């Protein structure tokens, strides 16, 4: 199986590592607009070679679109156009791995070869980016969302399921709109709270040495996502604007509940908020 | 050296493990008001035996006050009273390990044997509590704050420095008031943001299975501190109320900056907030 990966960052690169070493991919070609990242991806051995989009689509059986969602919305129709322009019935598959799904799904909805596209979101990542952030085993044991699968050919969905099975991921099926709601509620808001925490600490604590000294493991863990890359996150927040705004509003309410209980010396109120929050233990180990 | 540990939770228990195995403590006695925790601490082997406060102070050369700060404010004068009531010049030392320092320091300020007390805050912990949460190596390589050391006997400070050196901690000297400001800015706010995140996600996402499925490692890391114990955190937020309120206000401002940029489709604004937040990379690895 020839795999083409468009965008050789953390996700694309980590997929390349496991798809190759676990035997899913015989050859892997990459498309990468950043020349430094492209050269690094070849040197590290993530991909065999860098191609243009056209060459990559021509040579690959399955194409993974692993660019930020703003770029993916532009490139998905280009890939589908290349599929449609090919000779005979197209058997190739394109999948994306972006964190918002509704916009992408709308973009492809009326395309004549829409059914060769499978919308997915593997729930894995780190706060690092670039080909040097790629790592083996990133996806092991995590969930992978497959959206609007009824709009894709069963054979295309099946191939994508095989790919994710090779990555040891557990598939979950959902429509694109509810994916975006749930992703805002769980994943997107935690990035925003972390960015806001970093901004707060950097603003209040001008002496960086103090931050370093007073940071226990807890602070590092809570602020970790604030290292995340703007290229990836700006289009996510834009494309999932309405859902993200709703969850920010709820978050600000909860923060104000805390503020009021502390301001009022209401120890029972603080205790009850903390104990309510502790229920997260039942879900996250 | 006989060590007495009052409060056999995560911090007291973890100290017991390393002070014993690294040869600082010949014997360790514990004081613990919760009978289940007391029995567990003996069974696990954290302490040799459970004593009353009076017995423990009589038998120990150094007493570690490792209870929540609300209880510590009551117990510190009791321990100092027992020191003062002893025969001859007191050579014993009491130290606390609480997360707020100004209130405790005020409580002890005019006590006739104030100089046998050393105020400290080891910057280490996990989100778990109780004697079963105790672990070896918890403190290794972290910073430890020693407050108002000019109010303590040099010999008392020296013994506490030896204890922290055995735990592989790096001492940092600060007055109690500025400790509390900096702790609010770095540590206390990250707990509140995490509690508020858990409350938000549990409120918006009624289906717990969705939280589990959509939680990537990033969400788990950001929400981790929301598992923290109310008994510990209620008195911290109360005692550090004014500093905590100031930092909550700054945090809500930053969150509103994000909200506005997203609501206005202001992609440059979102990018600039994220890139500002990314500066935390310079400080926290």
pLDDT tens for each residue of A40-97? 999 999 999 999 999 999 999 999 999 999 999 999 999 999 999 988 888 999 999 9
A265 pLDDT more than 90: yes
Q: Do B249 and A262 touch (CB under 8 A)?
A: no
CATH number at residue A97: 3.40.50.720
Q: Do residue A34 and residue A127 come from a single domain? A: yes
A213 pLDDT more than 90: no
Task: Establish, for the pair of chains A and B, how many residue pairs have beta carbons separated by less than 8 Å.
Answer: 316
- Among B98, B246, B121, smallest CA distance to B181 is for B246
Distance between CA A41 and CA B104 in Å, rounded? Answer: 56
pLDDT at B213: 82
CA atoms within 13 A on the CB side of B37: 18
Q: Do residue B58 and residue B138 come from a single domain? A: yes
Q: Do residue B116 and residue B8 come from a single domain? A: yes
Chain A hits for B138, CB-CB cut-off 8 Å, are none
- Among B234, B135, B196, smallest CA distance to A222 is for B196
pLDDT at B216: 75
Q: Token pair 């994306």 is at which residue?
A: A96
Token readout for A240 is 């999932």
- Domain boundary among the residues A157, A174, A191 is at A174
Q: Do residue A252 and residue A163 come from a single domain? A: no
A182 pLDDT more than 80: yes
Contacts 24+ apart (CB under 8 A), A54-58: A54/A82, A55/A29, A56/A4, A56/A6, A56/A29, A56/A30, A56/A31, A57/A4, A57/A82, A57/A83, A57/A92, A58/A82, A58/A86
- Among B143, B263, B275, smallest CA distance to A202 is for B275
Q: Could you tell me which residue, A210 or A266, shows the higher pLDDT?
A: A266
Best interface-test mutation with B: which of A143, A200, A235, A285 has the largest number of B CBs within 10 A? Answer: A200
A195 pLDDT more than 90: yes
Q: Do residue A110 and residue A184 come from a single domain? A: no
Residue A3's pLDDT band, with cuts at 50, 70 and 90, is very high
Q: pLDDT above 70 covers what percent of chain A? A: 100
φ and ψ at residue B46, rounded to 5 degrees: -65, -45
Q: Do residue B126 and residue B102 come from a single domain? A: yes
Distance between CA B252 and CA B258 in Å, rounded? Answer: 10
- Polymer length of chain B: 285
pLDDT at B249: 97
Name the residue among B200, B208, B257 with its Cβ closest to that of A250. Answer: B200
Q: Are B222 and A148 a contacting pair, CB within 8 Å?
A: no
Token readout for B64 is 């570690």
Chain B hits for A212, CB-CB cut-off 8 Å, are 283-284
Residue A177's pLDDT band, with cuts at 50, 70 and 90, is very high
φ and ψ at residue A245, rounded to 5 degrees: -60, -40
Where in the sequence is the domain holding B252, given as residue range(s)?
179-282
pLDDT at A194: 96
Distance between CA A242 and CA A244 in Å, rounded? Answer: 5
Q: Do residue A80 and residue A145 come from a single domain? A: yes
B217 pLDDT more than 80: no
- Domain boundary among the residues B174, B209, B224 is at B174
B207 pLDDT more than 90: no
Q: Do B217 and A270 touch (CB under 8 A)?
A: no
pLDDT at B211: 84
Q: What is the pTM of this model?
A: 0.90
Q: Do residue B134 and residue B201 come from a single domain? A: no
Chain A hits for B187, CB-CB cut-off 8 Å, are 214-216, 218-219
- Among B138, B125, B131, B139, smallest CA distance to B191 is for B125
Q: Do A212 and B283 touch (CB under 8 A)?
A: yes
Q: Do residue A111 and residue A186 come from a single domain? A: no
- Domain boundary among the residues A174, A197, A226 is at A174
Q: Do residue B184 and residue B91 come from a single domain? A: no
Residue B89's pLDDT band, with cuts at 50, 70 and 90, is confident
Q: Do residue B33 and residue B70 come from a single domain? A: yes
Token readout for A152 is 């894709």
Q: Do residue A164 and residue A203 come from a single domain? A: no
Per-residue pLDDT of B224-280, as tens digits, reads 999 999 999 999 999 999 999 999 999 999 999 999 999 999 999 999 999 999 999
Give the count of domains, chain A.
2
Helix, strand, coil % over all residues of chain A, rounded to 5: 60, 15, 25
CATH number at residue A194: 1.10.3660.10
């Amino acid at each position: 199986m020839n795999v083409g990966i468009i965008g050789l960052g953390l996700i694309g690169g980590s997929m390349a590592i496991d798809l190759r070493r676990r035997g899913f991919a015989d050859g892997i070609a990459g498309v990468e607009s950043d020349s430094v990242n492209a050269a690094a991806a070849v040197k590290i051995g993530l991909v065999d070679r860098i191609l243009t989009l056209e060459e990559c689509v021509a040579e690959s059986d399955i194409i993974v679109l692993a660019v930020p969602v703003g770029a993916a919305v532009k490139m998905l129709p280009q890939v589908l156009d290349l599929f449609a322009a090919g000779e005979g019935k197209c058997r190739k598959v394109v999948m994306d791995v972006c964190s918002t799904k509704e916009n992408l799904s709308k973009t492809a909805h009326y395309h004549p070869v829409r059914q060769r596209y499978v919308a997915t979101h593997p729930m894995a990542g780190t706060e690092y980016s670039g080909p040097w952030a790629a790592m083996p085993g990133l996806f092991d044991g995590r969930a992978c969302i497959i959206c609007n699968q009824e709009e894709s050919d069963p054979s295309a969905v099946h191939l994508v399921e095989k790919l994710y099975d090779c990555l040891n991921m557990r598939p979950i099926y959902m429509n694109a709109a509810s994916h975006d709601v749930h992703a805002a509620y769980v994943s997107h808001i935690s990035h925003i709270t972390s960015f806001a925490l970093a901004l707060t600490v950097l603003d209040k604590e001008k002496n960086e040495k103090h931050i370093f000294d007073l940071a226990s493991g807890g602070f590092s863990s809570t602020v970790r996502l604030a290292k995340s890359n703007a290229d990836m996150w700006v289009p996510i927040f834009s494309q999932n604007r309405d859902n993200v705004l709703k969850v920010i509003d709820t978050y600000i309410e909860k923060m104000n509940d805390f503020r009021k209980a502390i301001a009022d010396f209401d120890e029972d109120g603080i205790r009850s908020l903390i104990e309510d929050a502790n229920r997260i233990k039942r879900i996250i180990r």
